[in-house]
Amino acid sequence: MLLYFFVGSYAVVIAALYFFLPLYLQGELNFSGGQIGILYGVLSLNALVAAFPVGVLGDRFPARHLTRLGLVGTALSLWGLTQASRFLPFLLVFFAFGLSLQLFRQSLDIMLFKDNRQENRVHSFGLYNAWRMGGMTAGIFLAGISLYYLDFPHTLLILAGYLGVLLAASGGLPLTRGRPTPLVQYGRDFLHKPVLFFVTWLFLFTMHWGAEGTSLGLFLKKNLGLSPLGVGLYLAGEFSIVALTSYLYGRFWAGRLSPLGFLTLALATSGLGHILMIYPSVAWSFAWRAVHGFGDGLIMMETYTTIARLFQVERIGGNAGLISLTTTLGTFSGSLLFGPLGAAWGYQFPLLISGITSLALIPLAYAGLKQ
């Protein structure tokens, strides 16, 4: 349960920044759309540097220690962001923030994957992701309230203080153990055909996370006219759907659909939800955003269960790091593509195009799973 609480707390931090930061960058610091895209690209780029090394370290040493390092680094970089007002200093601190946050999150995943209770694994994945998405819900809601009463720098300082509390409680996290594995073995694992198919569609799918990071908050503010509190309520509602979907999948739905049927349902609901949410009516947009959240919840559970199925537990940290690197590449590509696109054409277009991309993955899923 402490592991679930920690991943929920991680999600509180990332949610408070990921969706509200563009409002601060554009409104208070006067950063351009291209600069915002670069920042979110860098948030992904630093994960490219850290994902595989952190995974390998998690296979060799207790992941609890990595969690502590991530907590300290994230808290310090949150404080640093409150001190930076020009683009280059902000970029450098943001890079450190992304590295620390990657270390924090990935170490929690490693502890989850190395749990040896195979019979409860899918249920554990469901609870873990339900807490994670519940944390996103709480983070968005609390950040919306905080920004209603306080400014963004004070909100960041509150989050930094909260991470200090988590550091004091980190001694109760699971103590994983491992042994060294030759690095070449990770390459052999990754080059199997089922793994290559998995990472291909996952890369293309996660491009829409870049669209969301750079454009969703601004779409809600400018196209739908929502206040920061309204943005918080809107997104909190979506992530509560994702949390519920993760829990219900782990508790009741696992194995009820064929792999092809499951992927088709997930990609169709995620893609259609992204496309249809751009109509400028709050009620209509939220209804389809909830549909999108249902699809994303299914994809999240598919990702965790597939990682557990494809890789040996003694090497799962490094291999999960390679999967994280894949999703980071997708998010990074989406950020660089959709940040300038949203600023130039309108913040609804990145959501539309990325939704169409998700629908286009259905034939790819059919071709890959029929082989």
Among candidate residues 6, 113, 126, 103, the one with its CA nearest the CA of residue 59? 113
Q: pLDDT tens for residues 216-226? A: 888 998 889 88
Cβ(134)–Cβ(7) below 8 Å: no
Q: Is the pLDDT of residue 119 over 70?
A: no
Q: Is the pLDDT of residue 350 over 70?
A: yes
- pLDDT for position 39: 83
- pLDDT for position 279: 92
- On average, the pLDDT of the chain sits at 84
Domains of the chain: 2-172+185-369 (1.20.1250.20)
Cβ(58)–Cβ(110) below 8 Å: yes
Q: pLDDT tens for residues 124-165? A: 888 888 888 888 888 877 887 887 788 888 888 998 998 988
Q: pLDDT tens for residues 188-238? A: 888 888 888 888 888 999 988 888 878 888 899 888 988 877 887 888 888
- pLDDT for position 271: 93
Q: pLDDT tens for residues 81-97? A: 888 888 899 999 998 89
Cβ(6)–Cβ(172) below 8 Å: no
- pLDDT for position 284: 95
29-56 average pLDDT score: 80
- pLDDT for position 255: 64
How many residues are recorded in the chain?
A: 371
